[in-house]
Amino acid sequence: MINQTAQANAGSFGSDQSLVALVPRINIHAFCDNQQTAETMQMAAGDRRMARAHTTIQLGGIMAAVQVFQTQATPNVLLVETHGSRDVILSELGELAQVCQPDTKVIVIGHLNDVVLYRELIRQGVSEYLVAPLHQMQVIETIANLYQNPKSSPLGRVIAFVGAKGGVGSSTVAHNTAWMMSKRYATETVITDLDLAFGTAGLNFNQDVSSGIFDALGQPDRLDATLIERLLTKLGDKLSLLSGPGGVDRDVSIEAHAIEVILNAMRSSVPCIVVDVPNMWAPWIKYTLMHADLVVITATPELASLRNTKNLVDLLKSARPNDPPPKLILNQVGVPKRPEIPPADFGKAVGIDVACILPYDAQTFGTAQSNGQMVFEVAAKSKAAEALGNFVQIIAGTDKPAKRAAKLSLPLLGKLSMLRKK
Ligand SMILES: Nc1ncnc2c1ncn2[C@@H]1O[C@H](COP(=O)(O)OP(=O)(O)O)[C@@H](O)[C@H]1O
Ligand SMILES: [Mg+2]
C-alpha cells in the first residue's frame, strides 16, 4: 500500500509539465535510516534545483541527529528518517526538539502511512511528513515548497532554444513559439535573446530594441522583477523582449552568475521565459542549458547537426536525470535535391524522438523574415504553421486556447488604473 503510494508519486514527477521551484541557498542535513533513502537524498542533492543548497547526508535516523546537534547548530532544513512506531517517533522527536533551533524546519520521513500521526506531527511544528520510499523529486519539491511564498506570482518556466549548428532556424522557432504562447495560450511571455552581437529577435518582430540585456548583464546583483520590467521592449499584449540592438561595437563577457540572476528574477514574475541561446559553447551557455526547465534543440537533417545534437542530448540526459529529455525539432526538411537523413533514423541515432518536423519553405519563412512577422501571421494555413502550432501545443501542455478575456471598456480601464494609484 505504502509502496504503491510512493510509486504513484514518483510517476507524476519528471513529466514535461512538472515545475518545481529552485531550492534557495540553505543548509540541509539529512539523517537517513536506510541506504535507499540515503541514495534518494544523494540524487536529490545532485539535481540542478538543489545546486545552490549545501546538503549533508548521513545515516542514523532521529537519535543520530539528537547526538550531532548537542554540540552543533541545526541547519535550515533538517530531514530525519525513522522506522519507529507512532509512539517512538513522537518520543524521539521530543528529544530532537530539545536541541533544535526554533527556525530550523524539520521534515520527518517515516514508514507508516498514518494520518493521525501526520496531524500530530504537523501540530507539533514539523514542517512535513513524508512516507518512504521516496522519489528524489518529492524531496526537492517538499524542500522548495517550504521557501515558496504562496502569495508570490506564478512560477515561470524557462525554455531554452538552441541550434545544433548556426542557421538551422533555432531563433525562428523560438520567436514563433513565444508569439504563439502569448497569443493562443494568453501566457505572459518574455523572449531573452542572448545572441548579443548577431541576435535577430528585434528584426524578426520589426522592432527597434533598446539595450536592456546589457544593463541586465552589467549589474546582475541589482536585478529584480521591477528593474527587469523596465528593461523589456514590448512586442505585443503579452509578449516582451529582453535583448540588445545587435552589433559588434561592444565587448561583453557574460558570466554564468549573471544568467542565473536574470533567469531567476524572471522566474518569479513571468510565466513563460523563452531563451534564444546562440550557437556557440561557453560556460554560461552550458549553464543556461543545464538550468532551463526545458531545452529545445533545433537541427537540420544532416550529419553535422546529427553529431552535435547527439552530443547535446547525451550531456543533457546525463546531467539532468530528473528532467524531461530535450525536445528535438527537425527543420528545413525536404530541400529539393538535397540528400537528407530520414527523421526516424535521426531520432534513433540521437536517442530521442523527433517532436516536430518543419518543412523547408523558403517562401513562407522568407516572407515572415522580411516582413518582421511570424509564420502564423504570413501563412497561417501552411504546413510549417500547422507543425509549429502542434509543437507549441505540446509545450503549452494543452490543446485548448485561452479564453478571450472579456473586453473592458476604456472608461472602466481608466477607473481601474486610478484605483490602483490610490
Ligand atoms: N523551415 C524553413 N524553411 C526555410 N527557411 C527557414 C526555415 N527555418 C528557418 N529558415 C530561415 O533560416 C534562416 C536562419 O534562421 P535562424 O532562426 O536565424 O537560425 P539560427 O537561430 O538557428 O541561427 C532565417 O533566414 C530563417 O528565415
Ligand atoms: Mg539564432
Summarised one tens digit per residue, pLDDT across range 369-378 is 999 999 999 9
Ligand nearest to the CA of 356: 1
Q: φ, ψ for residue 342 (rounded to 5)?
A: -60, 140
User: pLDDT at residue 297 above 60?
Assistant: yes
Distance (angstroms) between ligand 2 centre and the Cα of 274 equals: 13
Question: Where does the pLDDT of residue 87 fall: very low under 50, low under 70, confident under 90, or very high at 90 and above?
Answer: very high
Question: Where does the pLDDT of residue 5 fall: very low under 50, low under 70, confident under 90, or very high at 90 and above?
Answer: very low
Ligand nearest to the CA of 172: 1
Residue with cell 531520432: 347
Ligand nearest to the CA of 199: 2
Label the pairing between strands 327-333 and 294-299.
parallel
Distance (angstroms) between ligand 2 centre and the Cα of 194 equals: 9
Ligand 1: which of 365, 374, 382, 391 to mutate, most ligand atoms within 8 Å of CB?
365
Question: For the range 361-369, what are the long-range contacts, defined as Cβ-Cβ under 8 Å and sequence gap of 24 or more?
Answer: 365/169, 365/172, 368/172, 368/204, 369/172, 369/203, 369/204
pLDDT tens digits, 303-333: 999 999 999 999 999 999 999 999 999 999 9
pLDDT tens digits, 112-157: 999 999 999 999 999 999 999 999 999 999 999 999 876 655 678 9
Distance (angstroms) between ligand 2 centre and the Cα of 182 equals: 20
User: pLDDT at residue 4 above 70?
Assistant: no
Strand order in the sheet with 272-277: 233-236, 239-242, 189-193, 272-277, 157-163, 294-299, 327-333, 354-359
Q: What is the mean pLDDT of residues 189-198?
A: 95
Question: For the range 397-406, what are the long-range contacts, defined as Cβ-Cβ under 8 Å and sequence gap of 24 or more?
Answer: 397/16, 397/17, 398/185, 401/184, 401/185, 401/186, 402/184, 402/185, 402/186, 402/187, 403/186, 405/186
Report pTM.
0.84
Report the half-sphere exposure of 357 (CA within 13 A, side-chain side).
14
| Ligand 1, residues at Cβ distance < 6 Å | 163, 166-172, 200, 279, 331-332, 358, 360-362, 365, 369, 384
Distance (angstroms) between ligand 1 centre and the Cα of 368 equals: 10
User: pLDDT at residue 202 above 80?
Assistant: yes
Average pLDDT, the chain: 90
User: pLDDT at residue 417 above 50?
Assistant: no
**What is the per-residue pLDDT for 413?**
47
Q: What is the mean pLDDT of residues 296-307?
A: 98
Distance (angstroms) between ligand 2 centre and the Cα of 195 equals: 7
Please report, for residues 101, 118, 189, 193, the alpha-carbon distance to residue 211 in angstroms, rounded to integers and kept in the order given: 47, 53, 19, 11
| Nearest protein Cα to ligand 1, atom 15 | 169
C-alpha cell at 206: 520589426
Distance (angstroms) between ligand 2 centre and the Cα of 196 equals: 10
| Nearest protein Cα to ligand 1, atom 12 | 169
Overall residue count recorded for the chain in this entry: 422
Atom of ligand 1 nearest to the CA of 332: 1
**What is the per-residue pLDDT for 150?**
66
Atom of ligand 1 nearest to the CA of 170: 22
CATH class of the 157-396 domain in this structure: alpha beta
Ligand nearest to the CA of 163: 1
Distance (angstroms) between ligand 2 centre and the Cα of 168 equals: 8
User: pLDDT at residue 13 above 70?
Assistant: no
Atom of ligand 1 nearest to the CA of 278: 21
Residue from 210, 375, 184 nearest 272 by CA: 184
Q: What is the mean pLDDT of residues 93-120?
A: 95
Contact assessment for residue 359 and residue 333, using Cβ atoms and an 8 Å cutoff? yes
CA distance 247 to 289: 24
CA distance 15 to 8: 13
Percent of the chain with pLDDT over 70: 90
| Nearest protein Cα to ligand 1, atom 10 | 169
- Work out the burial of residue 78: count CB atoms within 10 Å of its CB; fewer than 13 is exposed, 13-18 middle, 19 or more buried: buried
Portions of the chain given CATH number 3.40.50.2300: 16-146
Atom of ligand 1 nearest to the CA of 175: 17
Atom of ligand 1 nearest to the CA of 200: 18
Q: Distance from CA of residue 32 to its chain's centroid?
A: 29
Question: Which residues 6+ apart lie within 8 Å of 42 measured at CB?
Answer: 57
CA distance 309 to 346: 10
**What is the per-residue pLDDT for 418?**
47
User: pLDDT at residue 341 above 80?
Assistant: yes
Contact assessment for residue 58 and residue 32, using Cβ atoms and an 8 Å cutoff? yes
Question: Where does the pLDDT of residue 229 fall: very low under 50, low under 70, confident under 90, or very high at 90 and above?
Answer: confident
Please report, for residues 28, 65, 121, 172, the alpha-carbon distance to residue 106 in angstroms, rounded to integers and kept in the order given: 10, 11, 10, 48
Ligand nearest to the CA of 177: 1
Give bridge partners of residue 237 from the DSSP assignment: none
**What is the per-residue pLDDT for 357?**
98
pLDDT tens digits, 252-295: 889 999 999 999 989 888 889 999 999 999 999 999 999 999 99
User: pLDDT at residue 251 above 60?
Assistant: yes
Fold of 16-146: Rossmann fold (3.40.50)
| Nearest protein Cα to ligand 1, atom 21 | 171
Report CA Rg, the chain.
Answer: 25
Atom of ligand 1 nearest to the CA of 365: 27
Contact assessment for residue 23 and residue 48, using Cβ atoms and an 8 Å cutoff? no
